[in-house]
Amino acid sequence: MKRKPKALIIYTGGTIGMVKDSYTGALMPVNFERLLANIPEIVKLDIELDIHTFEQTLDSSNVLPEHWIQMVETIEKNYDRYDGFVILHGSDTMAHSASAVSFMIENLSKPVIFTGSQLPIGVLRTDAKENFITALEIAVMKENDLPKVTEVCVYFEYHLLKGNRTTKFSSSHFNAFTSTNYPPLAEAGVQILFNDNILRKHNGLPTKFYKKLDPNIAILKIFPGMTENYVRGVLQIEGIKAIVLETFGSGNAPTSDWFISALKEAIARDIIIVNVTQCPSGSVMQGKYNTSSALGEIGVLSGQDITSEAALVKLMFLLANSPDLDTVRQKFPIPLKEEMTINEWA
């Protein structure tokens, strides 16, 4: 007899598992058994489910790098026992978590699907049921006895997105996530239609799990009228090792002498600076315009079309798992998990 497929649900918290407090009206997390009681349809999936619940369930605003490590440790401990993994997570920092886990598991050969909801599971119009049920289906789906998906993904509102390409763009629509620079891996309608041309294929190499991250990163968002004190204040944070510089358009920034000098001085102190566009779509093309040429000349690295979320956690990952800063500088511009696309201005 063919065995049932097995999935491990990793319940971290988030809106999907919340109910309203009868006294305050605020949303509060509930235990997983109560969550499942609101999805009686789940028995029709014919999947063997096990649950790992975080000891302290989290609103995703409270998720830290230590929790990404906990997710990876849970997957590693259970890797050989399950066909796939579904991580229930709050939507606010889901893109950060999915990006982080994608870098922390090398040669992944099984699906790791992040999902959640915009409305709690017990609310009449909730999006939680569809997101959860379809994420579970994809997590155990096989083709020729091999997992259909072998990467870290986000499933939300009928779309399966590459985890390290996602950004939350809406707090009020069920379609909360976008992946503007990378097409969906699949779309769920009457059938789940996969984009087979871009699905990652397992390379057959042993899976490796990394459990170190370095959080000494800052984001410096430029804006018209920013002061020298603001810029230098960020660049001189004690212990800082890398900066995600969020620039205008295709990587453009002010050409003021003080601004370029401040960045140059930081780079001379071995601080790595990465140029990422503030635009939700498009790529940094450092050197295309005069307003970005100086950045490349002083040693700012182009983030190309990487998201700010992925840039942030990629730096945390590389700083913690590289022998020196020169290796980080060499590796950052290279796609590790298809998180960026190299362009002619790289």
Q: Quick one: pLDDT at residue 191?
A: 94
226 and 164 both lie in a single domain: no
245 and 178 both lie in a single domain: no
Task: Show which of 209, 236, 257 is a domain's final residue.
Answer: 209
Looking at the chain, the whole-number percentage of residues with pLDDT higher than 70 is 95
85 and 54 both lie in a single domain: yes
Q: Quick one: pLDDT at residue 56?
A: 87
Q: Which residues touch 156 (CB under 8 Å, ≥6 apart)?
A: 91, 115, 116, 131, 174, 175, 176, 177
Place 176 in a pLDDT band, splitting at 50, 70 and 90.
confident
311 and 226 both lie in a single domain: yes
Window from 49-53, 224-228, 304-308, 321-325 with minimum mean pLDDT: 49-53
Instruction: Kindly report the CATH number assigned to the domain that includes residue 156.
Output: 3.40.50.1170
Please indicate, yes or no, if residue 343 is contained in any of the structural domains: no
170 and 308 both lie in a single domain: no
Average pLDDT of the segment spanning 206-230:
98
Please indicate, yes or no, if residue 340 is contained in any of the structural domains: no
* Residue range of the domain that includes 77: 6-209
Please indicate, yes or no, if residue 346 is contained in any of the structural domains: no
pLDDT in tens, 281-321: 999 999 888 889 999 999 999 999 999 999 999 999 999 99
185 and 112 both lie in a single domain: yes
94 and 237 both lie in a single domain: no
Please indicate, yes or no, if residue 344 is contained in any of the structural domains: no
pLDDT at residue 34 greater than cutoff 80: no
Please indicate, yes or no, if residue 36 is contained in any of the structural domains: yes
Average pLDDT of the segment spanning 234-254:
97
Please indicate, yes or no, if residue 64 is contained in any of the structural domains: yes
230 and 193 both lie in a single domain: no
Residue among 35, 31, 91 at smallest CA distance from 63: 91
pLDDT at residue 188 greater than cutoff 70: yes
- Give the C-alpha distances (Å, rounded to integers) separating 142 from 82, 84, 93, 114: 13, 10, 29, 18
Task: Show which of 183, 209, 235 is a domain's final residue.
Answer: 209
pLDDT in tens, 69-105: 999 999 999 999 999 999 999 999 999 999 999 999 9
Q: Quick one: pLDDT at residue 47?
A: 92
Window from 8-22, 60-74, 102-116, 130-144 with minimum mean pLDDT: 8-22
Average pLDDT, the chain: 92
Please indicate, yes or no, if residue 167 is contained in any of the structural domains: yes
102 and 237 both lie in a single domain: no
Give me the active site residues, please.
15
Find out whether 17 and 27 touch, Cβ atoms under 8 Å. Answer: no
The encoded tokens of residue 114 equal 């992040």
> pTM of the prediction?
0.94
Task: Show which of 209, 227, 250 is a domain's final residue.
Answer: 209
Instruction: Kindly report the CATH number assigned to the domain that includes residue 322.
Output: 3.40.50.40
Give bridge partners of residue 153 from the DSSP assignment. 113, 162
Find out whether 272 and 315 touch, Cβ atoms under 8 Å. Answer: yes
Q: 240, exposed or middle or buried, with CB in 10 Å at 0-12, 13-18, 19+? A: middle
Please indicate, yes or no, if residue 345 is contained in any of the structural domains: no
User: What is the domain count for the chain?
Assistant: 2
CB count within 10 Å of CB 8 equals 23
126 and 183 both lie in a single domain: yes
56 and 199 both lie in a single domain: yes
178 and 261 both lie in a single domain: no
